[in-house]
A = this chain, B = another copy of it.
Amino acid sequence: MQNIQSYITEHKERFLNEIIELLKIPSISADSAYKNDVLKTANVVKTSLEKAGCDTVEICETDGFPIIYGEKTIDPNLPTVLVYGHYDVQPPDPINLWDSPPFEPVIKKTELHPEGAIFARGACDDKGQMYMHVKALEFMTVNNELPCNVKFMIEGEEEVGSANLATFVKNNQEKLKNDVILISDTGMIANDVPSITTGLRGLSYVEVEVTGPNRDLHSGLYGGAVANPINILTKMIASLHDENNHITIPGFYDKVENLSDAERAEMAKAPFSLENYKKALNIEAVYGETGYSTNERNSIRPTLDVNGIWGGYTGEGAKTVIASKAYAKISMRLVPNQNWEEITELFQKHFESIAPNAVKVKVTPHHGGQGYVTPINSIGYQAASKAYQQTFGKIPIPQRSGGSIPIVSLFEQELKSKTILMGFGLDSDAIHSPNEHFGVWNYLKGIETIPYFYKYFTALNK
């Protein structure tokens, strides 16, 4: 595959323009106001797969947003790679913290991206990384370098819990049959420290509502005599962690796998500077569960974070009111063996049990997913490792990620195949944050590396 680099150099401009056009469409799946934009994005993805060389591409309707399915079969006896990605993006809030509009992509140089990075919501998560696979397919088909069969499944509800993907996968097991699943929706340690994600955390996302009096009250006339739902909510949330930042929900840790000292020692070898970490976030100190390192806290340990809280008067100036209701969005990151439905139930039971009888509490589960671990001795992992060695000139480090891609465990369960997470983004790319970006070098490096995965995976299967 000598010509991959020259092909990329030759088509670099077009590769960039195509992803920029895709990023201009605000495909925010969480906000119904953007429904048409999400649907428009689905069509653009369909067309791009057809142009890239798929034999057939379908828009598969679901109860939510459609799933784009495409395939190219060159020989039924050859292995099949199933590529998964998503075309929906996170909401851009808080919008005022963006240096440029989230849906007007611009390329700017950064310290970590001297060749420039594309700034836009979805640049890295996941439009940019998903589109690397489309362009890699284009290269392989145009140059007759596709060594096996390929299937694409690109969904539009990943950022809202992939509610309808499960049904689709369950109902299309034959169609989706594959030998390995390939996903680029994670990151790597650094451009000169390639890594492959071997573990993911599970997720349980809930919304809570605390109701006090039946209407907003004057805080002078009622203050001190009536339960203030905001004060109560803060007490309830605060009580979910003890003084060691252990989560206090009964049974929460029962199934948490405890890594051996050897495994923890292996993890500790990954290059990490606490000083740089704190500097990058501008914090005086890190904060987390007693007895664990920062890299353990955000990967092998479960967490409970409030993702949003609101209640009462939040406008300009002052309003002396006791709100009738207070709300919070709370998510728990889970580790392998913790069952997200079980944890959601434990949370609900516990949260309702700690509410004083002066308030009413409602817990609404949003969505969730199981954690996942992939063995580094699998053919898929070995093929990926060789691909990185080819294009990065280094052996990638296997890494546990704190993030969650719930559908990975679903795939294993329903399709009986392992997933390889070839992520080319960096932690500092600010996914889910203002000024999300994706390095131009990383985008092109991904397009360069992916075809080698196909090559080695096919070879290792012979």
- Tell me whether A281 and B226 are in contact in the complex, defined as CB-CB below 8 angstroms, given that A97-B215, A234-B238, A358-B286 are known contacts: yes
Q: Is the CB of A309 within 8 A of B312?
A: yes
Q: Is the CB of A160 within 8 A of B318?
A: yes
The distance in angstroms between the C-alpha atoms of A226 and B430, with both chains bound, is 15
Chain B: minimal CB distance from A95 (Å): 11
26 of the cross-chain contacts (CB-CB < 8 Å) are A31-B317, A90-B321, A160-B317, A207-B318, A213-B281, A215-B281, A215-B434, A218-B431, A219-B432, A223-B331, A224-B289, A224-B301, A224-B333, A225-B287, A226-B283, A230-B309, A233-B234, A284-B357, A287-B356, A305-B322, A307-B312, A307-B320, A307-B322, A308-B314, A308-B323, A309-B311
Interface residues on A, range: 35 or more
Q: Is A212 an interface residue (CB 8 A)?
A: yes
Q: Is the CB of B160 within 8 A of A433?
A: no
Q: Is the CB of B313 within 8 A of A318?
A: no
> Across the interface, which residues of B come within 8 angstroms of A435, CB to CB?
215
Residues of chain A at the chain B interface (Cβ within 8 Å): 29-32, 90-91, 93-94, 97, 159-161, 187, 201, 203, 205, 207, 212-228, 230-235, 237-239, 241, 281-289, 294-295, 297-298, 301-324, 326-329, 331, 333, 356-360, 366-367, 401-404, 427, 430-435
Q: Is the CB of A331 within 8 A of B219?
A: yes
Closest 5 CB pairs of A and B: A30-B317, A220-B403, A224-B303, A227-B287, A308-B312
Chain B: minimal CB distance from A147 (Å): 34
The distance in angstroms between the C-alpha atoms of A320 and B322, with both chains bound, is 29
Q: Is the CB of A221 within 8 A of B320?
A: no
> Across the interface, which residues of B come within 8 angstroms of A312, CB to CB?
306-309, 329
Chain B: minimal CB distance from A232 (Å): 8
Chain B: minimal CB distance from A424 (Å): 15
> Across the interface, which residues of B come within 8 angstroms of A235, CB to CB?
234, 238, 241
The distance in angstroms between the C-alpha atoms of A213 and B428, with both chains bound, is 13
The distance in angstroms between the C-alpha atoms of A448 and B124, with both chains bound, is 71
Chain B: minimal CB distance from A438 (Å): 14
Chain B: minimal CB distance from A30 (Å): 3
